[in-house]
Amino acid sequence: MMMKKREACFALMYDRGSFDHYWEGTNLRTNETIATVTRVSVMPMIAIGILDQLNAYIGVPYVKTESDEPNGGQLQGAKGFQDLTIALKYRAVHTDMGPGKFSAFVASGYAFPITNYLSDYRPYSIGNGTQELSLRGIVQYRWDMGLYLRGMGGHLFRGQTAAERDYYYANGSYYTRWMDVPSAWEYNVVAGFWLFDNSLKIEGTYYKMQSTSGDDIRKYNAAQPTNRVIFDQINASVQYFSKHVKGLGALVYYNQMLNGRNMGKFAGFGVGATYQFSY
Amino acid sequence: MKKNILFVLVSCICAGIFIASCDNHEMPRYAAYSAYEYSQLDENGGTWTPILLTGQEGITVDPPADVNSAEYQSELDEVKGLQANLSKKQREEVQYWTNNPLLRWNEIANELAAKYNLIPGPNPDGTYTLPNPATPEGPSPFPFAHPAYTCRMLAYLSVAQFDALITAWSYKYEYNRMGPSHYDDEIESAYGHSDLPSYPSDGAVVAFVSRDILKAMFPLEAAYLDERAEQHLGSLLWSGANVPSDIDAGKQIATEIVQIAKARAAADGMSKAQVNKVISDSIAQSAFDRYGWKWENMEIPKRPVGLAPFFSQVQMWSVPNVEDVRPGPPPAIGSAEFQEAARELQDHQDNMTEEKRKIANWWADGLGTYTPPGHWNRFAKEFLIKYKQNPLRSARTMAYMNMAIMDAGISCWDAKYYYHYPRPVQTIKGFKTILGTPNFPSYTSGHSTFSAAAATVLSHIFPAEKSLCDTWANEAAESRIYAGIHYRFDSEVGLTQGKAVAQYTLDKMMVDGAE
């Protein structure tokens, strides 16, 4: 969970997800105008151990979206560098407790767009086009034999995004280009297992994100950054830490959304390579 | 050490919250203007030529009670009583409606257009069920407020408001009874001390006409419109602008005008604009026989009929025959001019810039919005505020602009279905766009015709704004090329077409007595 002081880890992640159903409000539907939408992202990121208890993270994904063929809309997808995220994680508690260890963390992150991508271009827009401040609390209990359980709760403070039109409808008229992107609560529960002398980690996650405000996608109409987005998702991952090449690791995961609101029902996978080193 | 870490963490969080809270751009829901002093009163406004009224209708408004009568005195007491007990909400309503409430009703109309501007999706079996005024609740709610529907809605609203206010003005200056604050110092006039006679109430005229025309156009919004009108009518008393008999007189006029407007609307041909597949196919076949091409909807599932093929047959306001303003044919598919236009479109998509993308989006006014006619109504509203036009002159501006926009729309739809020209996504293999292609043929561009017509009328009324209006119209026309949904000739010819149609409107304006 934490880099030690003067340790760093570089990761390159490839993520690919797609949906052919989406929730229009809470109504799950298809739409041949967009058919199946695929979103691919390539993200370099780095984790830095500032102290044993304090890590920093920086990452920026390159995202590309498009519909498959045939589709009725014939719309361009979108692509570009999305948001730069800078985060800090602080381990406040790390203590022996029974047959294992208990840890508690706080994490704070700040993300903002680094290109002028158009957020008001759903479902193809590569991001929300606004700044996001995240505050998370994490608790973990890890048994000495390798099993661990983790829980996270957090809040995502989001700002406004600039559309490229100065009238929009969201349960009423707005005479402005600025759209309020709803803030959200999020939480997850994780169960995992370390095997083979800590060289393999298998993990299952349940995640939910719930926006606290926003309007619903209107009937057979495009989504808008003002929408109230809610979804939950399960994720299964396997991470390998090489004993042969010092510092090298690999990661593969699969995820699937279960329920949602104003969201594409994504299913997808990711692969990544990691390299940990001292500096 | 721990203190340092804590400090770093806390200050990062604070910085983040601070940065995040900097995102507090205002998001206004309606125009921010207050009651203003009219630039002129138009004492002879009652002599202007109405659009629908012939003068034979015999609309009468009884003389008002004398200001010294007991009847009037008790009305003054009623207003005083209301003003003594105003709630916060009532004060807000007074502020909101202002002394040019026509602009607020225009905003309400545009908002309803945006609310109802949703295209029906397919049924599970791949067919489409279109809105039906006989069963407005559905399955698809009536109406689908597309540009043709919306420009017609705005035209009837504005024309009815205008004719009703001409009548009101005529009686105002016949009877010359002023607002209650003129006769009783204890009555506060929230809109200032106006020299405009208040009997009949122009605010009431606007409230009743707007409510009833919009109820006809948006039948599912009856309760909502009743509520808005109630607040407006209440604010006429709370503001001290009117006494109840002013409002009753205004209602008398409104009732007559609404009937006349509805009669024209019922017979203008709009009910036959959305044709069935048999007629739609024969329209396409005519074009195919004539030119060797025909537009087709490319959606999945395919829509069997385009949008309102017979909107071209709807009765125009100022142009005698739609053929009088029909442009010449577009370049043949495959011709050199066509290929150049297609190359330009592909080039824009291959080399999209943020600037072109923004222009395309700025003028899109597509599904879910107030449409291009609504956008120009917004510009008109802003000019009316800037130039402090009184309600009658505001109504005239809106009426003529919206009549020109509707005539331009009818002419545009005439060209679209006569020439039945396929859209770029149909003719250019593998072509992708940054805005969705609408469900009607290409030549000519609706944005271009609507915008040029509106710009022509607004430039005539506000000559200082001509350069700005022309820039807007040209950019709106260009935006469709960047979007990838129109060829250059669609937009260029559309601009010329819109201007030519609006000339018929100008010809009427110049002799109606207001200039």
Give the ipTM of the model, two decimals please: 0.96
Evaluate if residue B1 carries a pLDDT over 60: no
Task: Please write the tens of the pLDDT for every residue from B464-492.
Answer: 999 999 999 999 999 999 999 999 999 99
CA distance B454 to chain A (A): 19
Q: For an interface test with A, give the residue of B112, B354, B361, B378 to mutate (most A CBs within 10 A).
A: B361
Q: State the pLDDT at residue B8.
A: 62
- pLDDT recorded at residue B24: 87
Residue B9 has pLDDT above 90, yes or no: no
User: How far apart are alpha carbons A99 and A260 in whole angstroms?
Assistant: 38
Question: Is residue A1 in some structural domain?
Answer: no
For B13, the closest of A76, A131, A135 (CB atoms) is A135
pLDDT in tens, B101-114: 999 999 999 999 99
Nearest to B319 by CA among B393, B412, B417, B394: B412
pLDDT over threshold 60, residue B246: yes
- CB spacing of A169 vs B349 below 8 angstroms: no
Counting DSSP H helices and E strands in chain A, the numbers are 0, 20
Residues 219-248 of A with CB under 8 A from B: 219-222
Which residues have C-beta within 8 Å of that of residue A44, sequence separation ≥ 6?
Answer: A10, A11, A12, A13, A59, A60
Distance from CA of A133 to the nearest CA of B (A): 6
- The domain containing residue A75 runs over which residues? 7-274
Residue B361 Cα, gap to closest chain A Cα (Å): 6
The reply to whether A75 falls in a domain is yes
Q: Across the interface, do B361 and A163 touch by the CB < 8 Å criterion?
A: yes
Tens-place pLDDT, residues B192-228: 988 999 999 999 999 999 999 999 999 999 999 999 9
Radius of gyration of chain B (CA): 26
Instruction: Please indicate if any CB of chain B lies within 8 Å of the CB of A115.
Output: no
Domain count for chain A = 1
Contact B26 A88 (CB under 8 A): no
Distance CA B229, CA B209 (A): 10
The CATH number that domain B85-267 falls under is: 1.10.606.20
pLDDT of residue B193: 86
Instruction: HSE, CB side, 13 Å, CA atoms: give it for residue A156.
Output: 24
pLDDT value of position A271: 98
Confidence of residue B12 (pLDDT cuts 50, 70, 90): low
Q: Mutation target for B interface from A53, A74, A128: give the one with most B CBs within 10 A.
A: A74
Contacts of B87 (CB under 8 A, 6+ apart): none
In chain A, which stretches have pLDDT less than 50? none
- Residues of chain A neighbouring B111 (CB-CB closer than 8 A): 169, 172-173
CA distance B91 to B97: 10
CB atoms within 10 A of CB B55: 8
What CATH number is attached to the domain comprising A181?
2.40.160.40
Annotate B237-301 with three-state secondary structure: HHCCCCCHHHHHHHHHHHHHHHHHHHHHHHHCCHHHCCCCHHHHHHHHHHHHHHHCCCCCCCCCC
Cβ neighbours for B380, distance < 8 A, ≥ 6 positions apart: B397, B398, B401, B454, B458
Token pair of B336 as six digits? 């050199």
Domain boundaries, chain B: 85-267, 272-509
CATH of B272-509, one of 1.10.287.130, 1.10.606.20, 3.90.1140.10, 1.10.760.10: 1.10.606.20
| Tokens 């002419």 found at | B411
Indicate if the pLDDT at residue B23 is higher than 90: no
A177 within domain boundaries: yes
Q: How far is CA B402 from CA A166, A230, B344, B355, B408, in A?
A: 21, 42, 33, 30, 10
Residue B349 contacts A where some CB pair is shorter than 8 Å: yes
How much is the pLDDT for B175? Answer: 98
**Mean predicted lDDT score pLDDT of chain B:** 96
- Asked if B299 and A218 come within 8 Å (Cβ–Cβ), the reply is no
Calculate the alpha carbon distances from A138 to A104, A111, A150, B190 in Å: 6, 19, 7, 58
pTM of the model as a whole: 0.96
pLDDT score of B4 more than 70: no
Q: Rounded to 5 degrees, what angle do the CA atoms B192, B245, B101 make? A: 45
The rounded distance, in Å, linking the Cα atoms of B409 and B424 is 21
Taking the CA of residue A258 as centre, how many other CA atoms within 13 Å lie in the half-sphere pointing to its CB? 9
Residue A54 in domain: yes
Q: Report the amino acid identity of residue A228.
A: R
d(CA A162, CA B199): 47
pLDDT (mean) for B20-27: 79
Considering the domain boundaries, does residue A2 fall inside one? no
Q: Residue B138: what pLDDT?
A: 87
The confidence score (pLDDT) of residue B57 equals 85
Return the residue of B nearest to A54 by Cα.
Answer: B5
Asked whether this chain's domains B85-267 and B272-509 adopt the same fold, the reply is yes
User: Does residue A279 form part of some domain?
Assistant: no
